[in-house]
Amino acid sequence: MKSRLSKLFSVLMVVSVLFAGFAPVTSVAAAAPAADKKEITWATIAGFYTDWAENVAKDFEAKTGYKVNIVKMDLPTMYEKEVLDMVGGTGAYDVITWNVSWKAEWANNGYLLPLDDYIAKEDPKELDFEDITPILVKTGGGWAGKTYGLPYYTYTQGMIYRCDLFEDPSEMAAFEKKYGYKLDIPTTYDQMADIAAFFTRKAGDTLKGQKLDKDFYGIGTMSGRFTNLFDEVNMIAWGMGGDVINKDGTPGVDDAAYVKALTYDIEKLVPNAPPGSLTGSYDFVVSQLNSGLIAMTGPFYLDQWANAVKTEKQIPGSEICAAPNPSGGRVWAGAFNIGIPKGSKNPDMAWQFMKFITSKEAQLSFAQGGGSAIRDSIMTDKDFYTKNRETAGHFPVVKQINDWADKCWHTNMIYVPQVGKIYEEAPQWLSAAVTKQQTPQQAMDGYAKAITKLCGGKACEVKLEGVELPSASADCSFKFDKSLQVRLKK
């Protein structure tokens, strides 16, 4: 990863010199579409997301006459490919996709076109902008008081667990006898650690009264050298009062709260996870659930519900449930976002496509196929998510967490222009601690120095213009109504 970024930085330096005379974009360009070519190009993440998008693109073409060329990219290389196009102004893409952590750099450097003029010109009833989950627009599309992107797929985080295990009378009795409180979804990280340890069993032990023919584990963790590990540790850190960047722009990863969160992950969760977790990512955790190897995930992406719930067909008597993790609303309430790069050859039609793909019609189609929608009207449609439990059973839980995050979650990190590079830098340092090549403090001291270097050898600039911070009086205590869960019909 480090060598890849170094090469990218070198290329960017050369290109930036060539284009030094270009001023940052501050308003939507009124570029006319090419007269002989009715098409736009969308760069986006490969996989399930793209499979659905191809169908939506066909619908868009049928309605507008514009063909949408979809360029599929793997997430680890998408940042590099898109930023090279934007810095060079080659105009290869009319619509681009980004992770929350890339927005600050791109919007701050003028790589993206603001959407406010487009939004203002739309029929409010048709666009129904207020129906798009506010926290997702804020974290993924907002910058310096303007809107640069719209979410189209949310990966807001909580936890997924085997509720059949948590509600088994014999397991409940044994847990309460050992720990002195009732077995339930963990509301604190101490409870999560207890549950992870409790459900870790050896072959020959019993689980739900049945003898195990293989080892069983209390938790699945995303402990491989990927940015997913950073997401996992961040969720724990936010719940413990830590953050990647402090208010004054200095690194927070070497502070006591963040180091405590990393130490907790290493000492309390990872030892109760299956072998191979130190090289695994989110898909590895899903496969552990599907294989009947774990009782619950750690802090995890709830968009994986449609994959996790397949466990019920593979493990007789199992049932999958979704819930907030102990950080409550202090989690990545995020989404993949789409926007228009400054070099787009047809920004007007790019906007029309963005409007179409985030519309209720398209989002409902996405939700039916297993996607996590970004419109509150869909996330709160009880008739829909009840009838479509296998693809949308997590919707009411995600909705509560998003609303909770809107009141309680803030991270300075996503308002630092260098956040994209800070995010990509994280895995090597966290992995060094998780694999015990360094102590948590040593690893975070190294990461803190790397962050300072990425910010020019000084404190990072935290740009909070137009950002509404959580109120100090907001009630952020853990509350969850389990009646929101869409349960398996017996």
The region of weakest confidence among 2-11, 65-74, 82-91, 268-277 is 2-11
Is residue 58 within 8 A of residue 69, CB to CB? The reply is no
The CA-atom distances, in angstroms, between 400 and each of 139, 156, 480 are 17, 11, 8
pLDDT at 175: 99
Model confidence at 30, pLDDT cuts 50, 70, 90, reads very low
Q: Where are the domains of the chain?
A: 19-156+333-379, 157-330+412-462
pLDDT at 47: 79
Residues 6+ apart with CB under 8 A from 139: 100, 333, 334, 335, 414
**Residue 190: pLDDT over 80:** yes
**Residue 266: pLDDT over 90:** yes
Residues 6+ apart with CB under 8 A from 457: none
Average pLDDT, the chain: 92
Q: What percent of the chain has pLDDT over 70?
A: 92
The region of weakest confidence among 3-17, 44-58, 208-222, 301-315 is 3-17
Model confidence at 37, pLDDT cuts 50, 70, 90, reads confident
Q: How far apart are CA 153 and CA 203, in angstroms?
A: 40
Average pLDDT over residues 420-424: 94
Model confidence at 267, pLDDT cuts 50, 70, 90, reads very high
Q: How far apart are CA 162 and CA 255, in angstroms?
A: 35
Find the farthest-apart pair of alpha carbons in the chain and give their distance in angstroms, rounded. 75
pLDDT at 36: 53
pLDDT at 187: 98
Count of CA atoms in the C-beta half-sphere (13 A) of 358? 32
Model confidence at 25, pLDDT cuts 50, 70, 90, reads very low
**Residue 339: pLDDT over 80:** yes
Task: Quickly count: other Cβ atoms within 10 Å of residue 474's Cβ.
Answer: 12
Q: Enter the pTM of the model.
A: 0.90
Average pLDDT over residues 285-301: 98
Average pLDDT over residues 72-98: 92
pLDDT at 35: 43
The region of weakest confidence among 144-148, 288-292, 455-459, 474-478 is 474-478
Say if 19-156+333-379 and 157-330+412-462 have the same CATH topology: yes
Would you call 343 helix, strand, or coil by DSSP? Answer: coil
> Is CATH 3.20.20.70 the classification given to domain 157-330+412-462?
no
pLDDT at 393: 98
Overall CATH class of domain 19-156+333-379: alpha beta
Would you call 128 helix, strand, or coil by DSSP? Answer: coil
Q: How is 446-469 classified by DSSP, letter by letter?
A: HHHHHHHHHTTSSPPP---TT--P
Average pLDDT over residues 68-97: 93
Q: Phi-psi category of 217—alpha, beta or left, where left has phi over 0 and alpha has psi -120 to 50? A: beta
Average pLDDT over residues 44-58: 84
**Residue 406: pLDDT over 90:** yes
Q: What percent of the chain has pLDDT over 90?
A: 87
**Residue 375: pLDDT over 80:** yes
Average pLDDT over residues 291-306: 98
pLDDT at 14: 38
